[in-house]
Amino acid sequence: SLSATASPPVTLTISTNVSDVSEGSITAAQHFKNTDLPPALLKDKKWRRVVISTLFLWAASQADVFNITKAQIASALKHILPVVF
């Protein structure tokens, strides 16, 4: 038997300024879409072409690619995004 519980809504502030990014609590049940991204990341498919591909390269360089935490991904993105912009 499977059951599902609703997660409370979360307010997410997206900023292109990396110093404004803070780690929050994001549950596995939450889903985001590309339309949730800032327009600058959607322009010229920058999110997919540059950010995601760079994140994959970073992940491939990790000791255990199957056990990367959300905090590690957030930290990597904090370093990747300033280079993209």
Reported as a single tens digit per residue, the pLDDT across 28-71 is 557 788 888 889 888 888 999 999 999 999 999 999 999 999 89
Q: Establish if 61 belongs to a structural domain.
A: yes
Q: Establish if 4 belongs to a structural domain.
A: no
Q: Establish if 42 belongs to a structural domain.
A: yes
pLDDT of amino acid 30: 73
Count of structural domains within the chain: 1
pTM: 0.61
Q: Establish if 19 belongs to a structural domain.
A: no
pLDDT of amino acid 8: 53
- Between 70-84 and 53-60, two packed helices, what is the crossing angle to 10 degrees? 130
| Residue range(s) defining the domain that contains residue 67 | 32-84
Q: Establish if 62 belongs to a structural domain.
A: yes
Q: How many CB atoms lie within 10 A of CB 41?
A: 19
Would you state the structure tokens that stand for residue 79, as one six-digit string? Answer: 């370093």
pLDDT of amino acid 12: 45
The answer on pLDDT for 75 being more than 70 is yes
State how far the Cα of 10 lies from the Cα of 30, in Å rounded to an integer. Answer: 9
